[in-house]
Amino acid sequence: MTGRPRLVIALVVAMLLVTFLGYQLVANSDQLLVSVAQLRADQDGAAHKTVQLTGQVVSAPDMSGDRKRFVLRDDGSPQTVAVNYSGAVPQAFKIGRRVIVTGTMSGAVFVAKPGSLLTKCPSKYSAGPGQ
Amino acid sequence: MSTVGTVALYVVFALAVYATGAAVLAGRRRDRRLMQSVSNALVAAFVAVVVAVAALEYAIVSHDFSIAVVADHTSRQLPLPYLITSLWASQPGSLLLWLTVLLGSSALVMYQNRHRNRELLPWVAAVMGGTAVFFSAMAAFVSPPFAKLPAAQIPANGFGLDPSLQNPYMAAHPPSLYLGYVTLTVPFAFGMAALITGRTDARWLLSVRRWTLISWTALGVGMLLGAHWAYVEIGWGGYWAWDPVESAALMPWLAATAFLHSVMVQEKKGMLKVWNMVLVSTAFALAIFGDFLTRSGVVNSVHSFVQSAIGPWLLGFLAAVIAFSVAMILWRLPLLRADHKLESVVSREATFLFNNLLLLALCFAICWGVVFPILSEAVRGIRSSVSTPYYNFFLVMFGIPLLLLTGIGPLIAWRRASTRSLARTFRWPITSAAAGTVLLWLAGLGSSWAGMTALSLCIFVTTTVLLEFARGTSARMALTGAPPPRALFDLIGRNRRRYGGYIVHLAVVLLVIGIVASGSYASVGERHLARGQSMVVDGYRLTNTGLFQTREQNSVTSHVRLAVSHDGKSMGTLDPGLRLFTDTQQVSNEVDIHTSLLTLTDLYTILQGIDTNGSGGVSVKVLVNPMIGMIWLAGGVFLLGALIALWPDPREVRMLARRYAGALAREA
Amino acid sequence: MSTALAAIAAAALVIGVVVFVAWPFVSPDPPPPEEALSETDRRRLAAAERRDEAYMALRDVEFDLRTGKITDEDYQRERARLRSEAAAALRELDDLKSKQEIKED
């Protein structure tokens, strides 16, 4: 490869790298993904930020009204947290399912962003997701 | 029956081990009899795995709940078609599917090459056999599909298949994806065989071109099937969530796209030989990585499964594949010298190279997004993940230049294009894109600069493709005097790869239009509607005219009847609902969608909540997704273009016959 | 399925597989032994590839002219260059062929 094409290609590669690294440094787009225990323990300031919370649904008395509430339990410990939620309830949501919901801790309750509820698959292999 | 299945899997494993070892021996000793035995072994392994599949299907259909996967994923109420497709709903069952496609491909490769590629074939068989050893060991020993439940735990009825999976799109999605993933083994095997034998000429490329195209198409269609299912069934109004397992399919697809282009550069110019070896290994490694992501439970994904035993094994296999390919490429580096040099950045070779760089940059950015949570947890003890804004940024940053190159590539000459000819060829595309941009701006689409840029480039690409068809047809007409339809038909027939490729580019344009229009120009309305109340979203008026219920076999669905009108004209009703499954107490969204046939725009309605006081009030979310149907249409056009490109070209067959004539005939 | 039937089916599978795999060794006509590609053969292949690359490029460049992607001067220059590349490859093929004939005599 002669000089000039090689230079141009090197420049293009450099630009791609700069774009990538630049974004990483400047944008603050990553979000913590915490368990109930980590949220309760305020690990890494989780109780004061918008985080993704994951846990197992242990009670969900009314999911068809406008203001929904359900309780999530930690995987490894008996700690629980109540979640206030509004918006679409995904397929596959039920007691015993693991879910992910985005929001912020407010007092004793986790206030979720509307529509941010995701269900995880049951512990067996299943190609079906839920959002 | 499960005993037959288990024995069949042991037989598969034994045959794979034999085939691999004997192939290496046959390659070194150039023993044709041994090679024939290897070939037979791979075919026999395919037959044996089909026996295992039949045994499992029999167990499923006859409701043998003593087998764990049958109990966990099927039930007596499951309709027959979904009983059959539940084979791949379980971890071990899907592993069996992977193995079946792998051995089927191996058998087909052996058959296709029974009179040619004598030097490469033993090593191709060795690599494919080695891969089969790994996967058959997983199926036979680590995650056996015929594992039985303890007698005390055998249920009277199985747990059934998740209702959201009982859908034709979901049934077809895994086979299509697996066809895509697994057939990437073939180009990888040929590439490694070329390195092992030192036959780094273009022979291996010619053998793998079709396999790569099939794999690429299957992966693309598989992703679109999954996306469409998510859109209509899961019901959040979207079709892609940048879930790690979705990305797991996208990454090898991007690498395969790059490979399909750089292959052409090596065929025509004898350049990028090392690059192609790296690409083909990367594509295969990404397929294995994708499998690892899906099965290991290591990423927090809605698709993934809790820590499975197979995860560490897959990681080990992935490490072995990477180590092996790096070693082979480094060993044969001296043989991979280019025949020509890159002489100008204004050439088709350079365009393809830039296209490759962008595709891989995007692939890398996605890979980082997927792996980042794992790394952050390892370093900080707490998981940190990226989401849609991260991916969208890179999709825009790398995708828009890619779109530009898609338009430039077909119009630029090989080796070196002069400025004068460039000005002439790009005059119309640039003019129409500029005019189109103005029109788009006037239509009010300036709200999203990324959207406008992408749509302008779509006009650019469409113009270049149409010009190619037009100029080619008129050149053909000038040559033969044939009428336009005949000339066009001949043109495509004589240049199937080129024009099939152009049709695929048009499919990309449709895909981008669908993504951009529905992504950047969608409207959303979320309201509480009392009975009789209306809401307006983007010119559509929806009125709550009351609730009603429908009853199915194991569920009750509460619907709201929304009367829809647009500009005063009634469009009928949409009835989104909330479905309550009586046996599992699960609640699910049943969305209702109206698709406009003219613009493929969707009016998408979700029932989010029903007032518990019985007043008939509801909480709904309404989306208007402009031109989203273009995305599904693109899938069909992809298939058409790929089929045309796959069709054998008689002139090329003659050229290859001449090249490999005489003493070299066995290498043909 | 009864165990006896299952055992017979499994045995049939194993036997069938073994026979099929061993067949090439017991069949009466063994195929002729393989010969490696000689150095001359490899060079012939490489030259044939370069010849074909040149021919394909000639076709492409003619197509490019007819569809207006290159100017006439570009075309004449490229054509001359590609024809000399093809000629060089053909010369090498001839050389190798005559060398092989000399060897075989």
Question: What percentage of chain A carries pLDDT values higher than 70?
Answer: 83
* Chain A residue with the nearest C-alpha to that of B528: A66
Helix, strand or coil, per DSSP, at residue B597 = coil
Task: Please report, in angstroms and rounded to a whole number, the separation of the first and last CA atoms in chain A.
Answer: 50
Q: For position A120, what pLDDT does the model report? A: 67
Residue C22 with chain B: CB contacts under 8 Å: 37
| Host domain of residue B244 | 172-184+198-337+345-369
- The answer as to whether B554 is a domain residue is yes
**Whole-angstrom Cα distance, residue B345 to residue B354?**
9
- What amino acid is encoded at B51 in this protein? V
Would you call A130 and B164 a contact, using CB atoms and an 8 Å cutoff? yes
ipTM computed for the complex? 0.84
For residues B161 and B218, state if they share a domain: no
Alpha carbon of B236: minimum distance to chain A alpha carbons (Å): 7
Test B384 with A30 for CB contact under 8 angstroms: yes
**Which residues face B557 on adjacent strands?**
B550, B579
Q: Which residues of A93-122 are buried (b: 16+ CB within 10 A; e: fewer)?
A: bbeebbbbbbbebeeeebebeebbbbbbbb
User: Any residues with CB less than 8 A from the CB of B218 and at least 6 apart, and which?
Assistant: B176, B177, B179, B180, B183
Q: Which amino acid is at B486?
A: R
Instruction: Take residue B486 and report the two structure tokens written for it.
Output: 């005949």
Q: Are residues B299 and B351 in the same domain?
A: yes
Closest Cα of chain C to B174: distance in Å? Answer: 29
Highest mean pLDDT among A24-28, A54-58, B216-220, B478-482: B216-220
- DSSP tag of B627: T
Considering the domain boundaries, does residue B292 fall inside one? yes
Q: Which residue of C18, C25, C34 is the best one to mutate when testing the B interface, meaning the one whose CB has the most B CBs within 10 A?
A: C34
Residue B5: its pLDDT value, please? 93
Maximum separation of any 2 CA atoms in chain B, in Å = 88
Q: Domain tally for chain C?
A: 1
Q: Give B257-277 pLDDT, tens digit per residue.
A: 999 999 989 888 888 999 999
Distance CA B359, CA B244 (A): 18
**Do residues B164 and B584 touch, judged by C-beta distance below 8 A?**
no
Looking at residues A64-80, what average pLDDT do you find? 82
What residues in A contact B88, CB-CB < 8 Å? Answer: 127
Check CB contact under 8 Å for B306 and A92: no
Q: Is the domain of B137 the same as that of B32?
A: yes
Taking residues B159-184, report their average pLDDT: 88
Give the separation between CA B295 and CA B307, rounded to whole angstroms.
8
User: Per mean pLDDT, which of A30-34, B407-411, C30-34 is the most reliable?
Assistant: B407-411
3-state per-residue secondary structure call for B545-578? EEEEEEEECCEEEEEEEEEEEECCEEEEEECCEE
Structure tokens at B55: 């045994």
Chain C residue at shortest CA distance from B498: C60
* Pair A33, B373: CB distance under 8 Å: yes
User: Do the Cβ atoms of B37 and C23 come within 8 Å?
Assistant: yes
**Domain match, B123 and B256 both:** no
Please judge whether B357 and A38 are an interchain contact, meaning their C-beta atoms are less than 8 angstroms apart.
no
The answer to whether the CB atoms of C10 and B15 lie below 8 A apart is no
DSSP B615: S
Domains in chain B, number: 3
- Our CA-based measurement puts residue B175 at a distance from the nearest CA of chain A, in whole angstroms, of 12
Interatomic CA distance for residues B386 and B370, integer angstroms = 8
Mean pLDDT of chain B: 89
Name subunits touching A (3+ CB pairs < 8 A): B
Phi, then psi, of B527 in degrees rounded to 5:
-145, 155
Does A33 sit within 8 Å of B345, measured CB to CB? no
Nearest CA in chain C to B655: C52
Do A and C touch, counting CB pairs below 8 Å (3 needed)? Answer: no
> B36 and B66 share a domain?
yes
**Percent of chain B scoring above 70 in pLDDT:** 97
- Helix residue ranges, H only, B271-382: 273-296, 310-331, 348-380
Distance from CA of C34 to the nearest CA of B (A): 5
Dihedral angle, C-alpha B53, B54, B60, B63, nearest 10 °: -150
B585: phi > 0 → left, psi -120 to 50 → alpha, else beta; which? left
Residue B406 lies in a domain: no
Do residue A29 and residue B73 have CB atoms under 8 angstroms apart? Answer: no
Query: Do the Cβ atoms of C21 and B33 come within 8 Å?
Result: no
Backbone angles phi, psi at A129, to 5 degrees: -95, -175
Q: B245 and B107, same structural domain?
A: no
Q: Quick check: A130 pLDDT over 50? A: no
B246 and B231 in contact (C-beta within 8 Å)? no
Indicate the residue of B11, B268, B667 with minimum beta-carbon distance to C57: B268
Same domain, B349 and B209: yes
DSSP string, B370-416: HHHHHHHHHHHSSEEE--HHHHHHHHHHHHHHHHHHHHHHHHSPSS-
Closest CA–CA distance from residue C80 to any residue of chain B (Å):
14
Residue B467 lies in a domain: no
Closest CB from B235, B380, B580 relative to A88: B235
Closest-CA distance, B257 to chain C, in angstroms, reads 22
pLDDT of residue B446: 81
pLDDT at B289: 94
- Give B459's contacts (C-beta < 8 A, 6+ positions apart): B432, B433, B436, B437
Cα B487 versus chain centre, distance:
34
Using an 8 Å Cβ cutoff, are B320 and B262 in contact?
no
DSSP structure class, residue A99: E
CA B325 to chain centre: 24
pLDDT tens-place string over residues B517-533 = 998 889 999 889 999 99
Q: How many CB atoms lie within 10 A of CB B543?
A: 17
Among chain A residues, CA nearest to B350: A5
**Rounded alpha-carbon distances, angstroms, from residue B62 to B65, B93, B194, C2, C16:** 9, 16, 47, 14, 27
Single pTM value for the model: 0.90
Which residues touch B347 (CB under 8 Å, ≥6 apart)?
A: B412, B413, B414, B415, B416, B417
Verify that B274 and B327 share a domain, yes or no: yes
Q: How far B569 CA sits from the closest chain A CA (Å)?
A: 29
| Tokens found for residue B60 | 């499923």
Is B667's pLDDT higher than 60? no
Range of the domain at C99: 3-104
Kind of pairing between the strands at A118-119 and B523-529: unpaired
What fold, for A33-119? OB fold (Dihydrolipoamide Acetyltransferase, E2P) (2.40.50)
CA–CA gap between residue B172 and residue B493 (Å, rounded): 31
- Contact yes or no for B136/B7 (Cβ under 8 A): no
Q: Do residues B224 and B632 make contact, with C-beta atoms less than 8 angstroms apart?
A: yes
User: Using CB atoms, which residue from A8, A33, A115 is nearest to B236?
Assistant: A115
Rounded Cα distance, A48 and A39, in Å: 9
Residues B6 and B28 in one domain: yes
Interchain pair B383, A115: CB under 8 A? no
Q: Hey, which residues does B560 pair with through a beta bridge?
A: B547
Which of A4, A68, A121 lies closest to B302 in CB terms?
A: A121
Q: Do chains A and B touch (3 or more CB pairs under 8 A)?
A: yes
All partners of chain C with 3 or more CB pairs under 8 angstroms: B
How confident is residue A124, by pLDDT bands cut at 50, 70 and 90?
A: very low
Taking CA–CA distances from A97, the nearest residue in chain B reads B586
Contacts of B118 in chain C (CB under 8 A): 34
Whole-angstrom Cα Rg for chain C: 28
Strand partners, B537: B540
- Reply yes or no on whether the pLDDT at B307 is more than 70: no
Percent of chain B with pLDDT over 90: 56
**Residue B556's beta-bridge partner residues?**
B551, B580
pLDDT tier, B56 (very low <50, low <70, confident <90, very high otherwise): very high
State how far residue A79 is from chain B, nearest Cα, in angstroms.
Answer: 18
Walk along chain C (105 residues) and give the pLDDT tens digit of each residue: 578 888 898 999 999 999 999 988 887 776 666 666 677 877 888 888 888 888 888 888 888 888 877 888 888 988 998 999 899 999 998 888 887 776 655
pLDDT attached to residue B241: 84
Same domain, B176 and B320: yes
B109 with B244, same domain? no
B662 → chain C, closest CA residue: C41
Q: Given this model, what pLDDT does residue B614 score?
A: 82
Average pLDDT over every residue of B604-626: 89
DSSP B342: -
Residues B94 and B30 reside in one and the same domain: yes
SS3 call for B52: helix
Total beta-carbon pairs less than 8 A apart between chain B and chain C:
134
The answer to whether the CB of A102 falls within 8 A of the CB of B600 is no
CB contact under 8 A, C37 and B664: yes
Min Cα distance B418 → chain C (Å) is 7
Written as one letter, the residue type at B505 is H
The single-letter code of the amino acid at A98 is R
| Phi/psi of residue A72, nearest 5 degrees | -110, 145
Q: If you count residue pairs, one on A and one on B, with CB atoms under 8 Å apart, how many are there?
A: 203
Question: Quick check: B32 and C31 CB within 8 A?
Answer: yes
Tell me whether residue B666 is in a domain.
no
- With residue B170 as reference, give the H or E element that holds it: helix B168-182
Nearest to B397 among A1, A19, A93 (CB): A19
